[in-house]
Structure 1
Amino acid sequence: MKKRDLAIIAITVFVMCIPLAIIAHQNNEPRPAMPSTAFDWNSIKAVATKTGEKRQFFDAPTATLDNFECHVTTLNPGEMAHTPHQHPEEELTIVKEGTVEVLVDGQLKTVGPGSVVFQATNKLHSIKNVGSTPAVYYALKWKSSKTAATPNK
């Protein structure tokens, strides 16, 4: 190998490390706390999914939480949002429209509009549209200093 080849390799390695360093630096910076905000339903873009659609309202730290996330899912009739799973964050589901079947503490329960479902940390849960019309629900999850630092399952 010639000196020229070694120089090209060294420059290439250096140039390739710059984007990685930028990404690593961005991921380590604390994000600012979400301020008081009003979210207009019509201004949140609906993104198509294989089971319906999703609107992501926010996913950010707050003054008292490490992270607070809210999205709205629309499930087509007969569709399940995901197979039963668990995660360290607690989760609150508020049914806006339709009829859903939820797995709660090992039991399947059927609930409709206005119903609220709380899923405790690391408990197996799921949600399925068992009605004949689209089901729409808000999902809220949060992380605090008490949330276990294990990845989602």
Structure 2
Amino acid sequence: MKLNHINLYSHDTDADRAMFEQYFGLRTLVVRGTKMVIMQDDDGLVLIVNHFENKLEGFGYPQQLDILHIGFIQKSRDAVDALYKRLSGDGWEAQAPRNAHGAWSFYFRAKGGYFIEVTTLTPVRSEEAYQKNQR
């Protein structure tokens, strides 16, 4: 099974579009005013950022949308650090990279209100180690 798309509610679709193009290499496929942007990465994953306030009525989004995040895997700690420096140099408020979940990572808030994680691969524990901890 392959993940096909991600659809995120955004407070600022224009700013998010620019960020995803500039820092993460996504290309824009469709722009529908300030209500929706459809983008795609090099592997075919589609990312949609929308500002459909009317669709929030009756939908149980949490009060704090900041728990929503997407992650971008980088090949190395140096690549994480380089992207952090680019974002910080351009005025984005991002926490300094640190060790988290066994990986080197940082988070920053998109203009749309959700968080973006930039990280190295997280080591996956073997099934045997997992089972030992469940006993």
Task: Compute the TM-score of the two structures, normalised by the length of structure 2.
Answer: 0.26
CA radius of gyration, larger in:
1
Q: When you count strand as a share of all residues, which structure comes out higher?
A: 1
Q: When you count helix as a share of all residues, which structure comes out higher?
A: 2
